[in-house]
Amino acid sequence: MMPDSLAKLAEIRLFLLDMDGTVYLGDKLLPGAVDFIELLAAYDINYLFLTNNSSKHRGQYAEKLAYFGLAVSPEKIFTSGEATAIYLQQAKAGAKIYLVGTPALEDEFRNHGFKLVDSETPDYVVLGFDTTLTYQKLWRLCDLVRAGVPYIATHPDFNCPIPGGFMPDIGAMMALVEASTGRRPDVIIGKPNPPMITAVVEKTATPVDKICMVGDRLYTDIALGATGVTTVLVLSGEAQPEDIPSAPYPPDLVVQDLGELAVALQQVTNSRS
């Protein structure tokens, strides 16, 4: 790592941490994850676990992290579902929403003061990663999109990685809706799109240049660098060193895992003391 890249770490006041491939991989905690979280706490640096998956609420993620020995508050989890709710609060607080999502996502939207409607004409339609999807939901969604109702998607992922393979994610459903209606979402919230960082800034009141995204995917985590945040690629998940030269947004730093990042952060912070 170059000295000027290392120096950026000393200015960071909020770390955004991808989870699968960064903190854990499948059912295994990755090296250095606990050390890194403990170091952030010792230096009083804020952090959020950031996920595009809008099918679960923060409490479910906190339980999963606790399974790995990371006792974190649900408030430290930030999903694309919550980011979408924050985005829509800024657009129209208390709006009527036709939501295609899991019960967990429905709870998220109700907690943010939105009225979820079915037969009523909504102010917005929101497509989330809905593992409870039915044909009736898709049919209603397509009717509303075709009628011109503002159309929001929580994130862009086509597939969700699971042990042994993948399951179709929201991007696949977006393709179906487009085939039926001719419309793409008006706004897509999750990584690597700017509304995700805008929502983080709204939630934490942290300036963009004091935020660092840490993750293992070049096209979602590291592509957030286009918004002005610092990015750190960990090689503990999907991306490999040979993938970096062709990435549209190269990372500011590359480390093997969170353990190496912890060492780098400790060195640069101590040198500033």
Burial annotation 87-120 (CB, 10 A radius, 16+ → b, else e): bbbeeeeebebbbbbbebbbebbeebebebeeee
Pair (23, 45) in one structural domain: yes
User: What digits encode the pLDDT tens for the residues 115-141?
Assistant: 999 999 999 999 999 999 999 999 999
Q: Which of 82-96, 112-126, 169-183, 256-270 has the lowest average pLDDT?
A: 256-270
Q: Which of 26-40, 104-118, 153-167, 171-185 has the lowest average pLDDT?
A: 153-167
> Helix 194-204 crosses helix 80-92 at what angle (to 10 degrees)?
80
Pairing label, strands 253-255, 230-234: parallel
User: What digits encode the pLDDT tens for the residues 66-122?
Assistant: 999 898 999 999 999 999 999 999 999 999 999 999 999 999 999 999 999 999 999
Question: Could you list the residue range(s) of the whole structural domain that residue 45 is in?
Answer: 3-52+191-272
Taking alpha carbons only, the member of 84, 88, 62, 57 closest to residue 73 is 62
Residue 87 is assigned to a structural domain of this protein: yes
Residue 59 is assigned to a structural domain of this protein: no
Q: Which of 161, 188, 215 is the last residue of a domain?
A: 188
Pair (86, 178) in one structural domain: yes
pTM of the full predicted structure? 0.91
- Please, what is the average pLDDT of the chain? 93
